Amino acid sequence: MAYLELDRVAKQFGAQTVVDDFSLAVGKGEFVSFLGPSGCGKTTTLQMIAGFLDPSRGAIRLEGRDLTAVHPARRGLGIVFQSYALFPHMTAAENVAFGLEMRRVPRAERAERVRAALAMVGLAGYEERYPRRMSGGQQQRVALARALVIRPSVLLLDEPLSNLDAKLREGMQIELRQIQRTLGTTTILVTHDQNEAMSLSDRIVVMSQGRIEQIGTPQETYEQPASAFVSQFLGKTNDFAATIDRTNASARLVAGSWSAPAPAGFSGPVTISIRPERIGFGDAGLAAKIVTRIFQGNHWLFQCESECGPAIVIRQNDGQTQPAEGDAVRLAWRVDDMSLRAGGAA
């Protein structure tokens, strides 16, 4: 039995369906991210789990218990908001202790749990500091400690790192994942940041227009996207229109001047989806011309115009001479490194 289960959950506001037929089983201790663009329904889904919104239909169960009629404060969930929502008139320790006070935890136990929670997020010695005297990263840690100190059955994170600068956000991602693994807390993260979802998650739920596009591990969703939306949203990708040529004894997959043995199960027009870092420059393959070459430190990014349309190629900076802008090249890749979808490229 799933630890947390969403069974055909939907949410409507008037005639508008914001979340539709959302089904997901989350295992105990799992870290799952809801990933998608603004307006895709991910935050609405999180709010239904938290109890701030009632589903229009469907069920949400925690350890088999239906949460539909359970008040948010009685669900035993920890929540970290994008804005952190700290009480400005309370110290860090008082903010963290608030949930324990509401649960009438004895004073001595409360003090010890607050101390341990702040130490866990790297804020030992900051107990008496007020939010206005703390950086954004420190406030985020206080909010996380406040959510964890109550020992929640599920931790809900609503884009908690989006207000941090890039370097601090990356460091907090590492710390958050380490804390989650140490505690084994079942965690749901809402984010629009693909790198964040891939860095933190055991599984990713990719959403678009209120529906699930794909559920899978970060590697599965990146390397085997289930739709054109997932392919384009989760990192950079190249989509090439191709066909299955069965005029010869052995079927061939053909895209311009690139070809390879055709995989089983496909016929007619198809779309090849291939990540930029999986494409190489070779003596044979798809004819292309380098339009722009950009140096990005540890790798080069090439924008190309190929016989099958625009293409992006990423090559590691290995010290070797790279093609120049205006050079004619051939783009090649292994069949194992691409994914295939029925129908032509959009």
pLDDT value at residue 293 = 95
pLDDT at 248 over 90: no
SS3 call for 284: strand
Q: Which CATH class is domain 4-232?
A: alpha beta
Token couple for 7:
């069974």
pLDDT of 117 above 70: yes
- Ramachandran assignment for 237, one of left (phi > 0), alpha (psi -120 to 50 degrees), beta (any other): beta
| Residue-wise pLDDT tens digits, 302-313 | 999 999 999 999
Going from N- to C-terminal start, the domains of the chain cover 4-232, 236-342
- Per-residue pLDDT of 119-151, as tens digits, reads 988 899 999 999 999 988 899 889 999 999 999
Instruction: Find tokens 């699930």 and name the residue.
Output: 212
- What does the pLDDT read at residue 185? 94
Task: Output the pLDDT for position 344.
Answer: 64
Asked if pLDDT for residue 345 goes beyond 70, the answer is no
Count of Cβ atoms closer than 10 Å to residue 108 Cβ: 8
- pLDDT of 72 > 70? The answer is yes
Burial level of 272, CB count in 10 A (0-12/13-18/19+)? buried
User: Measured between alpha carbons, how far is 229 from 225 in angstroms, rounded to an integer?
Assistant: 8
Which two three-digit tokens encode residue 245? 């040529």
Q: Quick one: CA torsion of 82, 88, 91, 93, rounded to 10 degrees?
A: -30
CA dihedral 84, 90, 91, 95 (to 10 degrees): -50
Separation CA 197–CA 184 (nearest Å): 18
Average pLDDT over residues 269-290: 93
pTM for the model stands at: 0.85
Q: Answer whether residue 256 shows pLDDT above 80.
A: yes
Mean pLDDT over all residues of the chain? 91
* Distance (Å, whole) CA 297 – CA 304: 20
Is the model's pLDDT at 41 over the cut of 90? yes
pLDDT at residue 319 in the model: 81
Mean pLDDT throughout 244-270?
83
Give the CA-trace dihedral at 98, 104, 109, 113, to 10 degrees: -30
